[in-house]
Amino acid sequence: MTSEAALRRRGDTLSWLEASGSPEWFQALRPEGIPDQVDVILITHPRFPEDLSCFFPWAEQLTTAEQERLLRCLRPLLLETVVMPGLTAGMMFLPVHAGDILNPRRTPIARQILLQDAFPMAARYGAKVVCLGGLNGALSRYGHRLTPLARGLGIDVTIGHSITVICVWETLVSALRQLGRTLAAQTVSLVGVGGIGEGLLNLMALRRQWPARLILVDRPRQQGRIRQALSALNVPAHCRVELVDAPAGQALPAEHRAYDADAILTATSQADVIDMAHVRPGTVLVDDSQPHCWSREAAWQRVQSQQDIVPCDTGLVDCTSLEWFSRFNFGFAGERARSTAWSCLVEGLLKGLDPTLPCTLGHPDTQTLAAWDEAFGRFGLAPAPLQCGGHELPMADLRRHFAAADFRSGSA
């Protein structure tokens, strides 16, 4: 077959299960349909073994153990390429899931696949920009493990954290605006002050957008670093900041001060940190975590039954202005679901369209964020419609219910 010969000439080792085992959208993306050059490639991974059914529907008939075994038989998958004005972009999935990356016994294997399989494959497709999704930023020491190889190949590597930070913040601002609330009157909890969390602090300082009260939640050993970061930001006097310890390896208990907030932002790699049963009525939740920090199922059930919380997925960008259109069903909600893209991919798209933008390596500082914040507006981007687990949030109904129930006004 011509496609097989073309792949052999490229020297690639792609996993490919023919159209009989693939969803309809996959049939249009046979190897001969892949352009000779893919300018921007996102390297990401499934969250769970069950996500294999997004690629191969028959995989949902397998047990979790069988899905694990199948995943480990695969090579990196270039699952979709999208041609848009100015560049061609591709999405490559590693055959590892978030649990593998977080498992100390599996982490070296996942890192080897990223460095020795996926990245060289991206280079063979002529990528000028490689962006890292999911936990691949942490897996590559926030991109630094890839820079020597990338430099030799003429590839820019960016980890997506700048646009992710902007998207998280824009999602919060959008939710508050649709509820008729003002940020300056809110108490905001930030659970996890790592790469994304520290970036959010930098963005608050850059935009001079501060809540009335800020509760920072992280492990005790992180307090020194957090205090040092705060000292460089000139937090205004009207914003009261509290540092609160997080218990190791477990959900925050009901009495934890994080639940006192009007809005809870979560950005940590620990699963199920927030127990939906402890979340107070009137709370906005914004989660950008792998694995998830709170149950999407429990949150959506509460929206339907009580209408007393606004639980938002984030890291999703409306890319209509870029003429982005994906065939892949990511389960995004809203009329513009096909024009929605992950923030980590969007950072790569913007870098491909404007090579002068700085690469994000490590925690994004205010100078880096300033450049990306300007680009986010210049390219006409916006957060995707507010959604939870693939369901668009009924914001008009929630606003009416919040007002009728007289939930907390947002005063600190």
Which one, of 305, 359, 396, lies nearest residue 160 by Cα?
359
Q: What percent of the chain has pLDDT over 90?
A: 73
Six-digit token string for 278: 């402890």
The pLDDT value given to residue 4:
38
d(CA 100, CA 103): 5
Q: Is 317 helix (H, G, I), strand (E, B) or coil?
A: strand
d(CA 25, CA 353): 26
Contact status, residue 412 vs residue 183, Cβ threshold 8 Å: no
Mean pLDDT of 84-104: 93
- Among 60-64, 105-109, 218-222, the range scoring the smallest mean pLDDT is 60-64
C-beta neighbour count of 104 within 10 angstroms: 6
Which one, of 208, 262, 211, 214, lies nearest residue 233 by Cα?
208
Which one, of 41, 31, 27, lies nearest residue 5 by Cα?
31
- How many residues are listed for the chain in this entry? 412
Assess whether pLDDT exceeds 70 at residue 392.
yes
The pLDDT tens digits for 282-299 are: 999 999 988 899 999 999
C-beta neighbour count of 401 within 10 angstroms: 16
The matching CATH number, chosen from 3.40.50.720, 3.30.565.10, 3.30.70.360, 3.30.930.10, for 163-318+384-405 is 3.40.50.720
Which one, of 382, 368, 376, 381, lies nearest residue 202 by Cα?
368
Assess whether pLDDT exceeds 70 at residue 27.
no
Angle at 155 between CA 149 and CA 157, to 5 degrees: 85
d(CA 31, CA 79): 10
255, exposed or middle or buried, with CB in 10 Å at 0-12, 13-18, 19+?
exposed
d(CA 235, CA 36): 50
206, exposed or middle or buried, with CB in 10 Å at 0-12, 13-18, 19+?
middle
Instruction: Map out the domains of the chain as residue ranges.
Output: 2-159, 163-318+384-405
The pLDDT value given to residue 107:
95
Higher local confidence (pLDDT), 354 or 81: 354
